[in-house]
Amino acid sequence: MNVTKSLAELCPLLIDEIYGELPSRIYSTLITRGRSTLSQLRHYTALTERQLRHGLAVLIQQNLLYFHTDSDTRTTTYEANSRPAYNLVRTGKILEMIETSYGPAVKDVMQSLFILGQTRIEDLKAAYKVRIRQQDEVAGATEDDIMFDGAEVAPAANKPTLPVPSIAKLNNILCRLVETGLVEVVHVQTFASPEDIFSDVSDRVMRNKFPGGVKGAKGKLEFDEAVAMELRKIRRESTTLKRKLEESGSAAKRRKLLNGAGVNSEHEPEGDPVLDPRQVIRVNYDKCVVELRNRRLVDFAADRIGTHISYVYGTVLKLLSKHIPRCHDDPLMDVGEMRDEDTRPRVVTTNEILNSLPTAVDVSQGVAKVSKNRIDIYSATAVRPNPPATDPVSAILNGNNEEDGGSDDDSDYEGPNGHPAADDSAAVDGDGGVRFAETTHKENRVDMLRQHLYLLAESELNFIRHCGEEQWTVDFKPLIQHLKEAELDVVIEHTVGRQGLRLVRILRKRGKLEEKSLPTIALMKKPDVQTKMLEMQTAGFVDVQEVPRDPSRTANRTIFLWYTATDRCISQLLERTYTTMLRCLQRLHAERRKEKDVLLLTKRTDVKGREQEVMAEGYYQRFAAHLEAEKKLLGQVMRLDELVAVLRDY
Partner 1 sequence: MASLASSRAGTGEDTPKLEILKDALYEEMIQHGDQERLYNQSDLMGLNVIPKNDLSLLLNVIQGLTADQLVVAVSDSRAGIAWRYRSREDAKKYSSLPDTETQMVFALIDEAGADGIWSKTLRNRTKLHDAVLKSVLKTLEGKGYIKDMKSVEHPNKKMYIKAGLSPSERATGGPWYTDSNLDEAFIVGLEEVIYNFVKMKSTYSRPTKQPTKGVVGRKRTANDISTDADGTPTPAPVAQGPAGGRKLPAYLPYPAGYTYYPTAREIAEFIARSGITNNTTLSEDDVQQLVDILVYDGLIEPVVVARRKGYRTTRITKQEPDVPQQDGMEEEEKRLGAEPPTNGYVEAPCGRCPVYELCEEGGPVNPSGCVYFQRWLGHD
Residues of span 212-271 touching partner 1 by CB under 8 A:
258, 262-265
SS in 3 state form for 411-438? Answer: CCCCCCCCCCCCCHHHHHCHHHHHHHHC
Per-residue binding letters, 339-378, with partner 1 (x by CB under 8 A): -----------------x-xxxxx-xxxxxxx---xxxxx
The conformational region for residue 609 under phi > 0 = left, psi -120 to 50 = alpha, else beta, is left
632 binds partner 1 (CB under 8 A): yes
Name the one range near partner 1 by CB under 8 A: 33-41, 50-58, 203-211, 296-304. Answer: 296-304
Which residues inside 8-27 make contact with partner 1, applying CB under 8 A?
Answer: none
Q: Which amino acid is at 344?
A: R
481 binds partner 1 (CB under 8 A): no
Taking the complex as a whole, the smallest distance from the CB of residue 167 to partner 1 amounts, in Å, to 21
Q: Which is nearer to partner 1, 59 or 456 (CB)?
A: 456
Per-residue binding letters, 98-137, with partner 1 (x by CB under 8 A): -xxxxxx-x-------------------------------
95 binds partner 1 (CB under 8 A): no
* Residue 25 near residue 46 (C-beta atoms within 8 A): no
Q: For residue 32, which of 63, 68, 62, 7 has the smallest C-alpha distance?
A: 7
Q: Which is nearer to partner 1, 87 or 118 (CB)?
A: 87
299 binds partner 1 (CB under 8 A): yes
Which run of H or E residues covers position 408? none
Burial 125-143 (b: 16+ CB within 10 A, else e): beebeeebeebbeebeeee
C-alpha to C-alpha distance for 599 and 540, rounded to whole angstroms: 42
Q: Which is nearer to partner 1, 62 or 294 (CB)?
A: 294
Taking the complex as a whole, the smallest distance from the CB of residue 144 to partner 1 amounts, in Å, to 27
> Which residues lie below 8 Å from residue 121, measured CB to CB, with a gap of 6+?
174, 275, 276, 277, 278, 279, 280, 281
Q: Which is nearer to partner 1, 67 or 285 (CB)?
A: 285
Which residues inside 311-340 make contact with partner 1, applying CB under 8 A?
Answer: 311, 314-315, 317-318
Q: Is 28 helix (H, G, I), strand (E, B) or coil?
A: helix
380 binds partner 1 (CB under 8 A): yes
Q: Which amino acid is at 409?
A: D
Name the one range near partner 1 by CB under 8 A: 117-125, 185-193, 201-209, 516-524. Answer: 516-524
180 binds partner 1 (CB under 8 A): yes
β-partners of residue 471 are 349, 468
482 binds partner 1 (CB under 8 A): no
> Which residues lie below 8 Å from residue 261, measured CB to CB, with a gap of 6+?
267
502 binds partner 1 (CB under 8 A): yes
Which residues inside 41-80 make contact with partner 1, applying CB under 8 A?
Answer: none
402 binds partner 1 (CB under 8 A): yes
Taking the complex as a whole, the smallest distance from the CB of residue 85 to partner 1 amounts, in Å, to 19
Q: Which is nearer to partner 1, 282 or 296 (CB)?
A: 296
Q: For residue 110, which of 180, 192, 209, 168 has the smallest C-alpha distance?
A: 180
What is the CA angle 449-451-452, rounded to 5?
Answer: 65
Which residues inside 541-570 make contact with partner 1, applying CB under 8 A?
Answer: none
**Given strand 183-185, what is the order of strands in its sheet?**
119-120, 280-283, 183-185
573 binds partner 1 (CB under 8 A): yes
Q: For residue 519, which of 529, 510, 511 has the smallest C-alpha distance?
A: 529
Q: Which is nearer to partner 1, 230 or 485 (CB)?
A: 485
Distance, C-alpha 26 to centroid of its chain: 28
Which residues inside 405-464 make contact with partner 1, applying CB under 8 A?
Answer: 405, 407-408, 413, 421-422, 451, 454-455, 457-458, 460
Q: Which is nearer to partner 1, 351 or 365 (CB)?
A: 365
Q: Which is nearer to partner 1, 244 or 505 (CB)?
A: 505
